[in-house]
Amino acid sequence: MKKRKKRTPSHEAVVATAHSAGGLREAAVLRPGNGIDFVEVRLDCLDGNINRLRSSVEKIRVPLILTARHPREGGAGALGSRQRAQLLKAFLPLASMVDIELRSAQSLRDVVAEAKQQRVDLILSFHDFSRTPSPTRLRAKVRQALRVGASIVKIATTLRGPSDLVSLLALQSSSDQLATMGMGDLGKVSRLVLPLAGARLVYGYLDRPQVEGQWPADVLAARLAELSS
């Protein structure tokens, strides 16, 4: 396996999520410099045959983020920690970054250590699919993730109204290592506003969305380019 060049973004970067066979096929035709900066490969959603999956992932030329999501934070297949660790370790040599939930930092500590050894940058993430927690709780999550050694802290919450978006904007302004984003009715708005406020990563989809409030990745890249020009 050819080692991917590392690239931790210093500004907002568009991530296209590949969580199906169709998404992997679309990811394989992307070229660096087309507005999409990373492809997130959702290992928990994809073919469990590692050799077959590797042949698909190796065709992707855009830098990779690896994710094998915890079932309580949107993961597919009810994978346990051991299964998720095996998947992530198998693909680490291809990755620029690896995304592990903050709740899993201890149970997947071997993956965290191996990522550090291989100089794969660490995203520690927190997802809430029902609401946006209080600012105090969100700030505590960020502090905890930074103590663990995250290069980027990803916070994704469900926005029930404008005040929740304001909370994420305030949180985003507290650190330059954050990637905040919303889900739900205001999700699309948040994924335009928060990158302009400094969010390091913003996620769109390739063949189909995973959560309400996502843009198609190519449309998202174009909209952000328009707003930034």
Give me the catalytic one of 19, 70, 141, 154: 154
* Residue 22 Rama label (left phi>0; alpha psi -120 to 50; beta): alpha
145/187 Cα distance (integer angstroms): 23
79/76 Cα distance (integer angstroms): 7
Give me the catalytic one of 19, 127, 141, 188: 127
Active site residue 154: yes
46/184 Cα distance (integer angstroms): 24
Cβ atoms within 10 A of the Cβ of 207, count? 17
**Which candidate, 4, 9, 17, places its Cα nearest to that of 207?**
17
194/207 Cα distance (integer angstroms): 24
Q: Are 202 and 166 in contact (CB under 8 A)?
A: no
Q: How does strand 178-183 pair with strand 152-158?
A: parallel
Q: Are 196 and 168 in contact (CB under 8 A)?
A: no
Indicate which residues carry an active-site annotation: 127, 154
